[in-house]
């Protein structure tokens, strides 16, 4: 698969991330583009999980905020779309909000 394709697939659910990761590890010439987007996508998935946990705890404590807090569940989807657009342009720009945090965090991707 092309590097651009693998970078885009990394953002398409956690299964897509695993497929892109396995293909990335199989290649002898590892693309920095794919590595960057694997890290960004994993960061978005982790941030999405954290947001989900926090929102459900707060919604249990203050049920009247449940409807408003459910909008926070859209944030990971929006970040994934930003990542897909960046990957399709073959650029290495961090995803807004959480991208800088996860830029060089996952050493197992090297």
Per-residue DSSP letter, 95: P
- Ordered by start, the domain boundaries in the chain are 3-109
3-state secondary structure at position 15: helix
Give one word for 90, left, alpha or beta, with left for phi > 0 and alpha for psi -120 to 50: left
Structure tokens given for 69: 């807090």
pLDDT at residue 71 greater than cutoff 90? no
pLDDT at residue 1 greater than cutoff 80? no
pLDDT at residue 57 greater than cutoff 80? yes
pLDDT at residue 65 greater than cutoff 90? no
Confidence category of residue 103, pLDDT binned at 50, 70, 90: confident
pLDDT tens by residue, 17-31: 999 999 999 887 888
- CA–CA gap between residue 43 and residue 98 (Å, rounded): 7
pLDDT at 63: 86
pLDDT at residue 32 greater than cutoff 80? yes
- CA–CA gap between residue 42 and residue 87 (Å, rounded): 14
């Amino acid at each position: 698969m092309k590097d651009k394709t693998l970078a885009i697939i990394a953002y398409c659910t956690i299964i897509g991330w695993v497929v892109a990761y396995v293909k990335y590890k199989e290649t002898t010439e590892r693309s920095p583009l794919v590595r960057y987007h694997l890290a960004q996508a994993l960061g978005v998935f982790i941030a999405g999980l954290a947001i989900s946990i926090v929102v459900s705890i707060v919604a249990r404590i203050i049920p009247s905020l449940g409807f408003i807090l459910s909008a926070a569940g859209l944030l990971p989807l929006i970040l994934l779309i930003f990542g897909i657009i960046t990957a399709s342009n073959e650029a290495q720009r961090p995803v807004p909000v959480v991208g800088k945090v996860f830029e060089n965090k996952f050493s197992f991707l090297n």
